[in-house]
Chain A
Amino acid sequence: MSKISVSITVNGRIGSDEIEPRLLLVHYLRERLGLRGVRVGCDTSSCGACTVLVDGRAIKSCAMFAVQADGSEVLTVEGLSTGEGLHPIQESFWDEHALQCGFCTSGFIMAAYTLLAENPQPNPDEIKRAISGNLCRCTGYLNIVRAIEAAAAAMRNQAG
């Protein structure tokens, strides 16, 4: 099968590549670019561990071919923070103990990132809806909801 040339901007860096059409975006990110914060969980678009942003929209990268992202901008958890510090959402997940094993965390953080970009002051119900495509088998979700509330407050303060 013929390969396709793509040019995809990932975490601000433009990259060109020749890829098979059947290569899923999640494998492109993990295996070609080494971005292992993007996880393969269920591999059936249920768990949300593979969540990344494509052109500002949070999507499940195990249900998208990398060729579909040609010309797009992709943001993964690795691109959230510039420099040494953590992004406020990451900071809040740490502070509120919103993870145990951490496998699902990057997916939750990306889903939260999308939510807060659209709605800077979500209530707990809105948060629960926004993370309804992500599964966590450790925490019971309460701390995750708290972390997103805390992150929203921190980001509002930061924005001043």
Chain B
Amino acid sequence: MYPASFEYAAPGDLDDALTLLRRFADGSPKVLAGGQSLIPLMKLRLAAPSHLVDLRRVAGLSYIREEGDWLRIGAMTTESEIERSPLLQQKYPILVDTSSVIADPLVRNLATVGGNLAHGDPANDHPAVMVSLGAEVVVRGSEGERTVDAEGFFRDLFVTDLAEDEILTQIRIPIASAGASGAYLKFERQVGDYAIAGVAASLRLAAGRIAESRIAFTNLGSIAARAAEAEQLMVGEAPGDSLFREGSLVASHGLSPWEDLRGDGAYKRRVATALTYRALTLAAKRAAPDS
């Protein structure tokens, strides 16, 4: 399969990349990160950008570091790098859960976290996780830099808050605090397929009770929406089996997943219930490893 023709540029810095996006604004320019969603779409001619602005030569977009109140991840950081990061393995296991189930190891060597988010596909795994973590997306445009809550970043199926002449440069996540952790679980038919369902659960425990909970889903709606009712139900309660069973039922009850080859709505809700229960249980265990 051959994509439609396009012009290509690999600028050396972010300002040049932004200038190029503005210069090509009459056409339909796209930013190329790892290409693992965009290139297959172009091969199927579901996407036919006039220009590709490849970020691979832009320095300083690939890093994982804690800085002040934030864990900062550069947009061009690959899934493989996240999967192998000792810092994330130790302090942010939910991110390792996520990257290690995205596509397959070969795709993960090119696929980037920024691309995963900017693509706006609710079947991608990072959106739900970033929503559950209360992450913010850092975006550069001609007007300078701005940040958007992950929750507000995803507008609709394949629609994000990102303008055509903006570049997603960083994801920042509130630094891991004591008693807080999370888990991401996904159920898929086979490696490389999209999720039948995926659940990201983040919990913060204080004095033996749930002080904060955030749950979001993968591929069960047009965006990675939160399970607000279930979250509220658990706040102030002591973590435990019956609470998590109730929370998972309430969380999945609010979903209306579409029917496709991966199952009908009722089946997907059942999968979501089971995964939510397991994700909450694992998140609580990680948040309070000694209890």
Contacts and interface: CB of A to CB of B under 8 A. Distances in A.
A4 B51 CA distance: 13
B8 interface: yes
- Among A4, A62, A63, A70, max chain B CB count under 10 A is at A63
Contacts, number: 82
Interface stretch (A78-86, A95-103, A127-135): A127-135
Interface in B1-23: 1-8, 10
Contacts of B192: 46, 132-133
Interface string B59-85: 000000000000000000000100000
B103 interface: yes
A63 B35 contact: yes
> Chain B contact residues: over half helix, strand or loop, or mixed?
loop
B252 to A, nearest CB: 28
Interface residues of B, number: 29
Given A21-B52, A59-B110, A65-B8, A43 B39 contact: no
A45 B44 CA distance: 12
Nearest to B80: A57
B142 interface: no
Interface string B94-113: 00000000011111011000
Interface of A: 1-2, 4, 20-22, 24, 43-46, 48, 51, 57-60, 62-65, 67-68, 70, 111, 129-130, 132-134
Given A44-B43, A68-B32, 13 more contacts: A1-B7, A20-B5, A21-B5, A44-B40, A48-B106, A59-B106, A62-B43, A67-B8, A67-B10, A68-B35, A133-B105, A133-B107, A133-B191
